[in-house]
Amino acid sequence: MNSPESPTALVADNRRHDLDALRGFAMLLGIVLHAAMSFLPGIKPIWGVEDIYASDAFGLVMHLIHGWRMQLFFFISGFFTMMLWRKRGSNALFVHRTKRIFLPLVVAMFTITPAWMIAQGYARSNDTWKTSGNLPTAPIYQKENQDREAAKILIHTPQDLDEINIWQAVFDDDAATIGTYLKLGGDKNQVDPNSGSSLLHAAIFYGRVNAAATLIEAEADQSLLNNDGLKPAELLGIDWGTTQFVAKLTGIDLKEEELQRGREAITAILENQADRDPSTSEEQDKSSQEIKLNMQAGEKIDIHAVVAANDVERVKLYLDQGGDVNLIDQSSGSTPLHTAAFFGKADAAVVLIDGGAKLDARNNDGQSPVDLLYANWNITNFIASMMSLQINQEDLKEGRQRIAATITEKTGRPIDLTETDETGDAGIEGLIFFLFYYPFFNHLWFLWFLCWFVLLFLLKVTIMQGLGMKINSPSWLHTPAKYLIFIPMITMPQYYMARMPDAFGPDTSVSIIPPAAIFIYYLLFFFAGAAMFSDRPHKKSSVIEFTALLLLGLITFIAAMETDAYADRLLFSLLQSAYAWLMTFGMIGLFSHLFSKERYWVRYLSDSSYWLYLAHLPLVLILQDMMENWEVPAAIKFLLITVTCIVTLLISYQLLVRNTFIGILLNGKRYPPRKQQIAAE
């Protein structure tokens, strides 16, 4: 593949067809990874699409690939960079990489990146429940349509249960459709299999008065318990923060005043019902006490999540259960008070402080809860959006001021939160946020990294030449001894990555200035590949050798999956590093055995893979959005998305790219076979 790091557009003496093919294969695997994203449970807030049949199995497949793919890519990039430098020198290398890497990056940032943003915006706004009429595995919700009432006039009255989306009718507060559903024999106690909530649970939780009244009048069961052990009426007490958080996750546009009015009306309906039947009120009180006891006996509370939602009652319950008020989130090193301070959740913070939360606890960045009170609004809002938390700047400011006042009252130490606004530090922090946190490059980050790696390579060889040092490939790099150096070397930066729950392999940075650990990690693979280039004739790996490496890599992967990522942090990092190197050299050996000679179809795929990878993301997201609610096995949808994307982009490559200026920009000028042979001679 003549992609951003290919040695030359001409076919040269020692062209490595196997590495060309392997690099193209690594590119195409990137499409496979992104096609699998929508099938990961809980990915919706980040990705914008979550399939109704999301499964942890896809996460395992992604770990298998992600654990070595980009490492291998940068290794080969370094190899070809050294090859081109030896053949053409520093000036030619700089010009070549500028044309093949930097220019495509700039062009893609103004074309493909906006297309991706539009596709993601469409997916998030098009969050409709597209079912065939049967109950899906997981409910998918849509935002309110302000013209819904007018539109109903144009819609015929359903004559069959299959025509009615009863959950959507509840969310829309559509009493007429719910009434029709019940008349047609629909189940008034239908339960969502994911949450265990009934239709009445949903109506009460979201304050849908008409829906709740219709279901109550139809004598929907008010004693049903959802997965949290709560009856429908007990959802009236859920705080706004929690409700808003859940509504955001499910795509429901909810206003606090509307929710409050709705719940007050539903409360009145239930009270009127209780007045008609005195036993109902007594039964509800008794049930509420029983449920509270059950919660105290064993409800598992995610303290960081309930603090972020400002759910005071559950924070108190967590502490009453004997929960650790200073429980550390392993991915960030934050305590619950860190979370409360960062998001300005004053009510939760007061409970935590009264419960003995440490005010001087430090997270992984060395920050205390007080330090996080000064966090920049842009950074806070960005992280909140990643967690699907909707926060208001004024509410955040007020909450943090209340927390500061509480800490001051407890310690006597004054905390002035106005100084950043008065000194202009907010502007500096905004710049820092943009440079270090803003997702500037998305999937094009690898091109940005390669630009820097090539510059560092040129700096290195220039210094070595100036000092009269030889630039060659040490003999030990071509022996098993290399593993004794490479694996520990990569373990060091790996130790500081994969800290999020269920994470595996290296992290990815899409910001302008990447974290040091991520940058150094990939840079080491790049320079290792450059060091491996040798003028000596290439020796293919034996079948036994690369098979053993791949099998050992698989065993290492299984061992890593069975290792506690936090309790055995060093071992976990070591196993991840070993897996990356074993798979890198195992795949190189496999492809050297299969593709040492040029094959037209392999070369074609390799050449096209650069374009396919650059352009695939918007198309993948659109296909995922189209299929997310199809009641078709996930594996079939995943395969259909992958194949459709690759075939469509291959057609576009042949018609719009291969023989155009775009193809020249990406792959250089192509030569017919006869001229290739003459060039080689």
Under 8 Å between Cβ of 62 and 29: no
Rounded Cα distance, 66 and 71, in Å: 9
- Using the 8-state DSSP alphabet, how is residue 157 labeled? P
Q: Where are the alpha helices (DSSP H) in 376-424?
A: 377-386, 393-411, 419-423
Among residues 203, 214, 195, 213, the alpha carbon closest in space to that of 236 is found at 203
Please report the pLDDT score of residue 345 as a whole number.
Answer: 93
How would residue 417 be classed by pLDDT, with cut points 50, 70 and 90?
A: confident
**H or E segment and range at residue 554:** helix 543-561
Please report the pLDDT score of residue 111 as a whole number.
Answer: 94
Higher pLDDT, 390 or 665: 665
Rounded Cα distance, 130 and 485, in Å: 54
Residue with tokens 């959005």: 625
Higher pLDDT, 85 or 388: 85
Under 8 Å between Cβ of 387 and 342: no
Give the contacts of 525 (CB within 8 A, at least 6 positions apart): 71, 72, 74, 75, 78, 490, 584
> In the predicted model, is pLDDT for residue 663 greater than 80?
yes
pLDDT tens readout for residues 164-197: 888 888 888 888 788 888 888 888 899 887 778 8
Among residues 108, 120, 114, 105, the alpha carbon closest in space to that of 37 is found at 120
- Using the 8-state DSSP alphabet, how is residue 135 labeled? P
Identity of the amino acid at 335: T
Rounded Cα distance, 479 and 494, in Å: 24
Rounded Cα distance, 113 and 115, in Å: 5
CA dihedral of 562, 563, 564, 567, whole degrees rounded to 10: 160
Strand partners, 329: 334
Please report the pLDDT score of residue 274 as a whole number.
Answer: 67
Residue with tokens 């093949």: 100
Rounded Cα distance, 309 and 246, in Å: 9
Take residue 591 and report the two structure tokens written for it.
Answer: 């492809």
Please report the pLDDT score of residue 379 as a whole number.
Answer: 77
Question: For the chain, what percent of residues have pLDDT higher than 90?
Answer: 44
pLDDT tens readout for residues 546-594: 999 999 999 999 999 999 888 899 999 999 999 999 999 999 999 999 9
Q: How many CB atoms are located within 10 Å of the residue 345 CB?
A: 32
Under 8 Å between Cβ of 74 and 581: no
Rounded Cα distance, 593 and 609, in Å: 21
Identity of the amino acid at 375: A
SS3 state at 247: helix
For 291, counting Cβ atoms within 10 Å of its Cβ (0-12 exposed, 13-18 middle, 19+ buried), the class is: middle
How would residue 6 be classed by pLDDT, with cut points 50, 70 and 90?
A: very low
Lowest-confidence region among 72-76, 91-95, 141-145, 236-240: 141-145
Q: How many CB atoms are located within 10 Å of the residue 513 CB?
A: 13
For 574, counting Cβ atoms within 10 Å of its Cβ (0-12 exposed, 13-18 middle, 19+ buried), the class is: buried
Please report the pLDDT score of residue 464 as a whole number.
Answer: 94
Identity of the amino acid at 541: S
Strand partners, 334: 329
Computed over every residue of the chain, the mean pLDDT equals: 83
Strand partners, 191: 198
* Dihedral sign for Cα atoms in the order 598, 600, 601, 607: positive
Take residue 329 and report the two structure tokens written for it.
Answer: 């989130």
Q: Where are the alpha helices (DSSP H) in 277-413?
A: 278-298, 303-308, 312-320, 336-343, 346-354, 369-372, 377-386, 393-411
Residue with tokens 């081109």: 84
Question: Mean pLDDT throughout 597-604?
Answer: 89
> In the predicted model, is pLDDT for residue 126 greater than 70?
no
Higher pLDDT, 9 or 124: 124
Please report the pLDDT score of residue 155 as a whole number.
Answer: 37
Take residue 584 and report the two structure tokens written for it.
Answer: 């890198």
pLDDT tens readout for residues 491-534: 999 999 988 767 899 999 989 999 999 999 999 999 999 999 97
Under 8 Å between Cβ of 167 and 183: no
Among residues 598, 420, 441, 563, the alpha carbon closest in space to that of 511 is found at 441
Under 8 Å between Cβ of 386 and 348: no
Identity of the amino acid at 44: K
Rounded Cα distance, 17 and 35, in Å: 27
> In the predicted model, is pLDDT for residue 635 greater than 90?
yes
CA dihedral of 404, 409, 413, 418, whole degrees rounded to 10: 30
Higher pLDDT, 668 or 413: 413
How would residue 3 be classed by pLDDT, with cut points 50, 70 and 90?
A: very low
Percent of residues in the chain assigned helix, strand, coil, to nearest 5: 65, 0, 35
Please report the pLDDT score of residue 486 as a whole number.
Answer: 96
Question: Mean pLDDT throughout 61-77?
Answer: 96
How would residue 434 be classed by pLDDT, with cut points 50, 70 and 90?
A: confident
Displacement of CA 178 from its chain's centroid (Å): 37
> In the predicted model, is pLDDT for residue 224 greater than 50?
yes
Under 8 Å between Cβ of 313 and 292: no
Half-sphere exposure of 330 (CA within 13 A, CB side): 14
Please report the pLDDT score of residue 536 as a whole number.
Answer: 67
Please report the pLDDT score of residue 14 as a whole number.
Answer: 61
Under 8 Å between Cβ of 127 and 238: no
pLDDT tens readout for residues 127-164: 533 333 333 333 333 333 333 333 333 334 455 666 78
Among residues 614, 598, 621, the alpha carbon closest in space to that of 662 is found at 614
Q: What is the DSSP string of 575-615?
A: HHHHHHHHHHHHHHHHHHHH-SS--HHHHHHHHHHHHHHHH
Under 8 Å between Cβ of 63 and 575: no
Burial 216-236 (b: 16+ CB within 10 A, else e): bebebebebbbebebbbbbbe
- Using the 8-state DSSP alphabet, how is residue 440 labeled? -
How would residue 422 be classed by pLDDT, with cut points 50, 70 and 90?
A: very low
Please report the pLDDT score of residue 160 as a whole number.
Answer: 62
Q: How many CB atoms are located within 10 Å of the residue 423 CB?
A: 10
Under 8 Å between Cβ of 189 and 199: yes
Rounded Cα distance, 317 and 653, in Å: 59
- Using the 8-state DSSP alphabet, how is residue 136 labeled? P
Q: How many CB atoms are located within 10 Å of the residue 633 CB?
A: 10
Q: Report CA-CA distances (Å) from 124 to 113, 127, 249, 250.
A: 17, 6, 11, 11
Please report the pLDDT score of residue 10 as a whole number.
Answer: 35
Take residue 485 and report the two structure tokens written for it.
Answer: 């150096």
pLDDT tens readout for residues 31-61: 999 999 999 987 876 788 989 898 989 999 9
Q: How many CB atoms are located within 10 Å of the residue 627 CB?
A: 21
> In the predicted model, is pLDDT for residue 485 greater than 80?
yes
